[in-house]
Amino acid sequence: MNQMIKQNIARKGISKQGFTLIELLIVISIIGILAAALLVSLGGARQSGRDARRIADLRNIQSVLELYFNKTGEYPGVDMAGLGTELKNKLGAATRISKDPSPGKDYRYTYYSNKQRYILGADLEAEDSQTSKESLPNSVCPTSGGGDPCKCYDANVIVNKASYCVGL
């Protein structure tokens, strides 16, 4: 019976062999290379997406600050940590301040001593980003409020990333 099956297979040209180990390894390595290339190309898109969100968040905060100014005649005299609470107290429960999409990073807010001007800032991930060129030229963005502003970026850090600043 076994002999008949072998003869039948030989007559029909059916091979008992499957894929060789080499063929399987080549296919797996090609798939791995393509997957790695895809992940690398998507990394830049994720960075751009987070940067776009940062800019949108700053513009939204800017809109809420203008509402605050219209109601009180001045901008909040608090740091970024207290900004959400201050806006909520003055404008109502619907006010919410977004957080930076990357863990460990925060937006920056400061006000001038007369509370008639402010600056918001965020660090962008994309180096030499086009959006950073849209922000305030030669802008200043201190890390704490109440005094005269300083640079929009931290002078103690190597500045290879762009900052985005908005304000009055």
Report the amino acid identity of residue 125: E
Six token digits for residue 161: 């990333």
Using the CB atoms, write b or e for 29-40: b if 16+ within 10 Å: eeeeeeeeeeee
Please give the pLDDT value at position 166: 77
* H or E element at residue 166: strand 163-167
Residue 119 near residue 142 (C-beta atoms within 8 A):
yes
Please give the pLDDT value at position 93: 65
Please give the pLDDT value at position 139: 44
Whole-angstrom distance, CA of residue 162 vs CA of residue 19: 52
pTM exceeding 0.85: no
Please give the pLDDT value at position 9: 60
Please give the pLDDT value at position 16: 60
Please give the pLDDT value at position 30: 96
The domain segmentation of the chain, as residue ranges, is 46-167
Residues of the chain with pLDDT under 50: 129-151, 153-160
Six token digits for residue 117: 């001007």
Please give the pLDDT value at position 15: 57
Six token digits for residue 43: 């990394």
Q: Which CATH number fits domain 46-167: 3.30.700, 1.20.81, 2.30.30, 3.30.1380?
A: 3.30.700
Among 123, 126, 114, 131, smallest CA distance to 75 is for: 114
Mapped onto helix, strand or coil, the DSSP state of residue 120 is strand
| pLDDT one-digit tens code per residue, 37-59 | 988 888 788 888 888 899 899 88
Six token digits for residue 12: 């029909």
Helix then strand then coil, in percent of the chain rounded to 5, is 50, 10, 40
